[in-house]
Every structure is written in structure tokens, then in C-alpha cells.
Structure 1
């Protein structure tokens, strides 16, 4: 699985909004997170369309989370900007014509990715903590090494 720059920037922007006590202007988000401003505008548009972020124009305007951070998962954010979490040759594993162990492998991969990303909220990241089951995955030294 590959996390796109668009998805990573979207998560970072949403975590910043989760920590904010007021609406933030897009130039502030771009500057604070080192996200190219034009790129961020497209990301924010997708997040607004998905109902994750809301925006207000004018004085005191800017962006904020549309729902409490504890109710928005990392999976929600990634799906809003990139679509489904796991694709195999542009198909969802459950839509593939294959059968047997290989198909089961792709479905298992999707299930694990979903478990981690749907089990982690923006509130978790804003508080700089992970759910115990997700944090446990990082305790194996091999998880930190490239094969």
C-alpha cells in the first residue's frame, strides 16, 4: 500500500484543525504544515465535499472540522481525498474475479489496513497517541526496518 502525498497532507491538515481552537485560514494551514498552497486548496475542497471539514468566508472565516475529531477516522480522511484504501489493479479486492488464497490475501490486506486506519481518529493523532492495538504494532523492531 502506498500513501499519496495528497492523503498524507490531508491527514496533517486535519490533525492541525483538530488541535485548533478557532477556524484556520488556508495560508496558515499551508505554512504550518509545509503544504503547497494550491495543492492544499484542492485537498480542502475534497474534505469539505466529504463533510469532514467546513469552511466559512469573510472576517473570522477559515476552515474547521465539521464533526468532533473523535468521530473522524484517518480512513475517512484518506477516502475523501484518494478514494478506497486498498486497490489491486484498480479494483477493490472484493470485486475481483480471482478465487482462492491470492484473493484471500488481498482481502486480508484490506482488512488490516482498514483496522488500523478506521481505528485511529483525528483526536488520537491530535493528542499524539495511538489506540493500544495500533501502538502495539509499532513495538516490534522489525516494523521499523526496511526489508
Structure 2
């Protein structure tokens, strides 16, 4: 589990308050990010351009769009420089895998998700594009961590 991403999500909550996951379209202009729905290949449901524009695959459900948008916001919150910069550095591919996992952790931790909304988001992604393996790992880590906190009486 990415403590860096979880700490960033906590900091963002302190600064921005509690933001409902489905309210991304109201929140993003406050931080200078716009979203454009475009035709993208199935393997690329969303992409961040210069930390200010998110290109989102047209036709996704509102819930799936929210999860993808928050993932890209996670990159803005955590990773200065962009993918081209990081892949050109030593160990760049390893860094990108770590960054993807961190961005998914942020996407699940910063906004407030209702369980049915998150379930719909995941189901929508599964039917419209491939759910990234890193997202599955993050969900598993968070579930395990939540179970351990509950078992220890810390939740």
C-alpha cells in the first residue's frame, strides 16, 4: 500500500474538505483542471495532458468516469513531470508502475466513495475497458488493511 498516496489524500482532504467522488466535475475547475470527452483506444480510457487537461474516453458511465478522473488527479497530486519525463529516467518503467499504483490509491482515498458507486465504477470499467492490474492490487491492499484495522479495533 502506498503511504505516500494515502498521506497526499489526507493532505488534500484537509485543504479541500470532503469531496463526493461523483462531484469531480464541480471540483476540478477549482484546481485548474478540465476534462474533455474524446474517442480513445480501449486500452487507454483516460490520459492526463500537461497536468491540466484530462482526456476521458467517451461513453463511460458517470461512476467509471469518476474513478478514472480521480486517478489522473492522483498523478497531478503526486507526480510532477509527466510520464515522458519519468520513462526517460533510470528505472523509469519501474517508477511508472509505482506511480500508477499510487494514483489508484489516491483515487480511492481522496474523494468520498459510496460503496454502490464504487462498485458501479469498477463494473463499468470491466465492461468498457480492461481494469488495470495495479488497481486490483490497490483494492486488495486497502481491503486487507481495512480488515486488519477492524480486527485490531482501530477502525
Q: Which has the larger radius of gyration?
A: 1
TM-score by length of 2: 0.37
Which structure is higher in helix share?
Answer: 2
Instruction: Select the structure with the greater relative contact order (CA < 8 A; seq sep ≥ 6).
Output: 2
